[in-house]
Amino acid sequence: NRTVGQIYALLYIADKPLCADEIAETLEFSRSNVSMGLKELQAWRLVRLRHQAGDRREYFEAPSDVWEIFRVLAEERRRREIEPTLSMLRTALLETPKTDAERHAQQRM
């Protein structure tokens, strides 16, 4: 979504890791929206968590290597979208069709 994209863009262009409060202040987002956006980016493995000595806050940064970003996106899309679809198709192919429509659909798969 747009919020996640803006958070990612800020982290990508930032010259240092940023904490959630800095992100919220810079983008004028609520702290809760930033927190949800960061969790989504972490789930996609598009941001890294960093800690700074003497500071209990969590800091975030985006990878700078565009090829690493593409690789991570491709892996995550495969894991989230392609693999479940293939699994569902395999299951459907193993089932015995009961109607002509099911037989036709199975042949098309």
Model confidence pLDDT, tens digit, residues 97-109? 889 888 888 888 7
Cα 2 from Cα 8, distance rounded (Å): 10
CATH architecture of 2-61: Orthogonal Bundle (1.10)
pTM: 0.75
Cα 35 to chain centroid distance, Å, stands at: 14
CB atoms within 10 A of CB 38: 22
Dist CA 84 CA 88 (whole Å): 6
pLDDT digits (tens, 9 = 90+) for 13-63: 999 999 999 999 999 999 999 999 999 999 999 999 999 889 899 999 999
Strand segments, DSSP code E, in 10-95 are 18-19, 48-52, 55-61
Domain spans of the chain, in order of start? 2-61, 66-108
